[in-house]
Structure 1
Amino acid sequence: MKVLIFPSWYPTPDSPINGIFFKEQAKSLVRKQIDATVLYSEAWSIKGFKLFDPNRGTAVQVEDQVPTYRYKDYNYALNFIQNAAGKQYLKRIKKLYLQYKNQYGKPDIIHAHSVLWGGWAASKIAKEEGIPFVLTEHSSSLGRGLLSDSQINELRQVYQAADKLIAVSPSLKILMQSLVPGKAISIIPNIVDLSHFTLKSPKDLTGKFRFFSLAFLNKNKGMDILIEAFAKSFKGNKKVELIIGGKGQEKENLMQLTENLGVSDMVHFRGELDRVKTAEEMKKANAFVLASRYETFGVVYIEALASGTPVIGTKCGGPEMIIDSSNGLLVDIDDVAQLSEALRYMERQAKEYNPSELRENCLNRFGEQIVVSEIIKIYEECR
C-alpha cells in the first residue's frame, strides 16, 4: 500500500522537535511494511532572504527510513491576502506530488495531518487525482479561538471532503463535530517513539524531590501558573526543585517571575531538549507536571508515564484521555490553589505509584503497535 503523508508542520534542522510525532508515525508505518512517503513544504522566514540560496528547491532523501520530499523556499505569503499561505503550500506540494507520481505512480492513500495547510492541499490533490484522503486533526487553534472565519470555513470544507476523519482526543472530536455534524470521526492518539524512554530506577533520582515540566514556553502552556503554584507550595523548601525544559517567547518573563516570587534558586530552566535529554530528565524526575490552558493531546505525558513517572495535568482537553487516578492527578485550568495542592500531594505520595505499572499501562494504551494498527485499519477501509 502506497501512502503519501502531508504534514502541516515537520521537523527541520532549526526545529528538530517540531511535528516530531508526524515523523514518528511515518516511521512506524514503514516498519509495518507500509510504503509511506512524506511530502512537505518547508517555508523559511523571509527575514533571512538570500537571492542565490543553494538550498532552495526540491530535496529528496530517506530520513530515518522514511522517503521524504521537501520543497524548501522562503515564505512569500502575505498575511493580509486571504489563504495566501494555503495557496503557496498547495503550489509547492503539487510540484513534489508530480515528481513522486512520475516516478512511482499514484498513491493508494493521501494522509494529511491538520488542515492548515497540509490537509487543505491534500484535499485539492485528492479530488483532482481521485485518491482516497484521510485527515488527522491535531491543531489546538480552533479550541483556542485563534482562527478567522475564513479559516474555520476551510476546516469545515476539508473535514467534509475527507474520506476518513481522525481526532487525536475525544475533546478534539467534539470540536470537529461542531463543524461537520453527523460525520464519522475516529479517535486515534499520536504515535510516540518511546525507544528512548526506558523505565527509571531508584539510582536515577536525585536527592531532592524533582518536578519536571516540558513545553514550548508560550502563554498557552501555563508555566506562569505552575511557577506560582510551586512557589506557593514550596518556597524556602530546599528539598524540592522544579526543572523546566523548552524554549519560547515567554522564557524571560518566566525567569523574572521566579525572581519576583523568590524561587529563582529552586526553578531551573534547561532550554530546548532533544529526545535523549528529555528522556534523561523524565527518569530523574519524581513527577511530571504541565499546566496547559488547552491541549488536543499531550505527548509529554505519555513520555513521562513510559519512564515510570507519575503526572499532573489540567482538564484542558487532551490530558483527560491520558491521566486518571492510577497514574496521576488532574486539576482545573488556571487554578493556582488546586495545582498547589496537587503538587504537595504528589511530593508526599509519588513513591506510592509503581513505575513498572505506570509504564506497562501506558504501553498497553498508547504503544506503537496499538496505534499503528488502528491507522492501517482506517487505510484499508478507504480502499
Structure 2
Amino acid sequence: MNGIFIQEQALALAKRFPHIQIGVSLWGQQKEDYLLWGKDLARNILKLIKGRKKTGKTNLARQPLPNFYEWETSAFTWTDKYKQGNLRGIQKANEQNLLAFEQIVGKVDLIHAHVCHKAGIIASWLSKKKGIPYLITEQMSPFPFTQILTRQGTLTKKYRDAYEQATINIAISPDLKRRMQKMGIPNIRVIPNLADEQFFIPAKKSPANPFTFFTLCDMRVQKDLPTLLKAIKRLLSADHSARFLIGGDGEMFDEWSSLSNKMGLSQHVDWLGPLDREQARHYYQQAHAFVLPSQHETLGVVFLEAIACGLPVIATRCGGPECIVNKDNGLLVETGNPKELALAMEKLMENYPSYDKMTIRNFHLEYFASFPICNQLMKTYYEVCTQ
C-alpha cells in the first residue's frame, strides 16, 4: 500500500465498519533506505549493509484502531529491468505480513490491491498460493505505465492475468475506466478515492485579502506548474492583485521555484515546500481558491480536499477532474494553456461571491466523503466474498 490517500481510505473503512479486521501490508516501498538506484553504487552498498539485518523481519508497524493493523516486512527493490525489481523478495515479504495478520484474526477473506504495479501482481500470486479472492483498485497516473506494456502497446501477460483473475477491478474515475476498457481489462466499476470530511473542513473565518490561490502537488513534470507561472504573470500584468501559495516537494521543485524568481514573481508566489496533513489543511483554509493545471490526473485527491474545505477550484480537462469540477464548485480549462488559465483565475476572482462554500462542501459529502465511498467498497467486498 502506497500513498497517504490509500491509507486514509483503509482507516475510514475500519472506523465505518468496526466489525471487520483490516491488515495493511507494507514492504518498505515508501522508504529510501530500501530503494537501490542503478547509478548510485556507493550509496547502494551502504544501504545493503545497513538494511541487511532488517529485511525479512516482520513487525507490527502501527495499530491506530483495534481492528486496523499495519504489518511491515521490508524488502529491497530496484529497477524492473533486473529480476523484476526483486519481485520475488517483495512477494515473500507480503506473504509474511499476511501470515502475521492471520495469526491474530484467523482466515483472511479477501485481498484488496491498490495499483496493479506491483500490488496487483503480488495479490494475484498470493491468491493462487492461498486461495484468497482479490480485487484491484487502479490509480496509475498516467495509465498505463510503460512498465506494464509490451512493445506493441498491449498489456504484458502477467499484468493481463492479474487484471483478468481479479474478481473486480475498480477505477477511481470514469476516465480511467474508459482507458482500462481500451486495454481489454474486464469487470470494471468506478469507486473514487475519498478525502476525510471530518479533517478537511471549511475555515471558520473568511480568508484575508489579497485574493489567495493555493496549489498543492508532488513536484513532477505532469503537474505542469510552468503553465501556472505563465498564467500568474498574465494575471498580474492585467493589474489584478493576487497571492499564490504553492506547497509540495519533488524532483522539479528547484527548477520551478527558480523559474518563478526569474519571471519576477517572488513577491507574489510563496513556495512552501513539503506539507503534512495539518499544514495542508491550514493553507486550504487560508486560501480563497485552489488551482492546479496538471497535464493528466487519474482523479486528483487535492481537488477533493479543496472542495471538502469549501474552496472553488480551477483544474484542467486531463482525465480525473472532469468528474469533480462542476458549475457550482469551479472551472475547467484545457491543459497547457496559460492564457485560458489566467482568464479562468480572473473569472473566478470576479465571481467569487457567487460560490457558496457549503454548496461546494455538500457535493463532496454526497460523492467523495467517507460514508458513500466506504459503503460502496463494503458492498463490493461482499460481492467478492460471495462469488
Indicate whether the TM-score tops 0.5.
yes
Asked if 2 retains the 8 angstrom alpha-carbon contact of 1:45 and 1:74, the reply is: yes
Task: Give distance in 1, aligned partners of 2:272 and 2:121.
Answer: 37
Task: Give distance in 1, aligned partners of 2:230 and 2:344.
Answer: 13
Q: Secondary structure at the match of 1:149?
A: coil
Question: Compared with structure 1, are the counterparts of its residues 286 and 174 closer, same or farther at alpha carbon in structure 2 (3 Å cutoff)?
Answer: same
Alignment of 1:344-359 (within 5 A): 344-359=346-361
Residue 304 of structure 2 is aligned to residue 302 of structure 1:
yes
Amino acid at match of 2:321: P
Question: Compared with structure 1, are the counterparts of its residues 350 and 143 closer, same or farther at alpha carbon in structure 2 (3 Å cutoff)?
Answer: farther
Q: Secondary structure at the match of 1:198?
A: coil
Show CA shifts across 1:215-258 (max 9, x none). Answer: 00111011111111111111485731111000011111112221
Give the structure 2 partner of residue 45 of structure 1: 35
Task: Give distance in 2, aligned partners of 1:262 and 1:26.
Answer: 44
Count of equivalent residues: 364
Gap regions ≥5 residues in structure 1: 1-6, 10-18
Alignment of 1:14-29 (within 5 A): 19-29=3-13
Q: Secondary structure at the match of 1:42?
A: coil
Give the structure 1 partner of residue 167 of structure 2: 163
| TM-score computed with the length of structure 2 as normaliser | 0.88
Give the structure 1 partner of residue 21 of structure 2: 35
Displacement of 1:82 after TM fit?
4.9
Gap regions ≥5 residues in structure 2: 37-42
Query: Which deviates further from its counterpart, 255-264 or 338-347?
Result: 255-264
Task: Give distance in 1, aligned partners of 2:240 and 2:344.
Answer: 19
| TM-score computed with the length of structure 1 as normaliser | 0.89
Give the structure 2 partner of residue 178 of structure 1: 182
Task: Give distance in 2, aligned partners of 1:266 and 1:144.
Answer: 36
Task: Give distance in 1, aligned partners of 2:325 and 2:378.
Answer: 26
Displacement of 1:96 after TM fit?
1.8
Question: Compared with structure 1, are the counterparts of its residues 159 and 50 closer, same or farther at alpha carbon in structure 2 (3 Å cutoff)?
Answer: closer
Alignment of 1:1-383 (within 5 A): 7=1, 9=2, 19-31=3-15, 32-33=17-18, 34-43=20-29, 44-46=34-36, 47=43, 49=47, 51-53=49-51, 55-56=54-55, 57-65=57-65, 66-75=68-77, 77-143=78-144, 147-149=148-150, 152-153=155-156, 154-180=158-184, 183-201=186-204, 203-235=205-237, 237=239, 239-383=241-385
Show CA shifts across 1:45-92 (max 9, x none). Answer: 3435162556542211433222111012433x4543252343332121
Displacement of 1:25 after TM fit?
1.3
Amino acid at match of 1:172: L
Q: Secondary structure at the match of 2:202?
A: coil
RMSD value, Cα: 2.0
Query: Which deviates further from its counterpart, 31-40 or 165-174?
Result: 31-40
Task: Give distance in 2, aligned partners of 1:39 and 1:159.
Answer: 20
Show CA shifts across 1:16-58 (max 9, x none). Answer: xxx1111111112211122111111114234351625565422
Give the structure 1 partner of residue 39 of structure 2: none
Question: Compared with structure 1, are the counterparts of its residues 266 and 146 closer, same or farther at alpha carbon in structure 2 (3 Å cutoff)?
Answer: farther
Task: Give distance in 1, aligned partners of 2:220 and 2:310.
Answer: 27
Question: Compared with structure 1, are the counterparts of its residues 85 and 318 closer, same or farther at alpha carbon in structure 2 (3 Å cutoff)?
Answer: farther
Asked if 1 retains the 8 angstrom alpha-carbon contact of 2:317 and 2:332, the reply is: yes
Q: Secondary structure at the match of 2:155?
A: helix
Asked if 1 retains the 8 angstrom alpha-carbon contact of 2:297 and 2:320, the reply is: yes
Query: Which deviates further from its counterpart, 273-282 or 152-161?
Result: 152-161
Q: Secondary structure at the match of 2:164?
A: helix
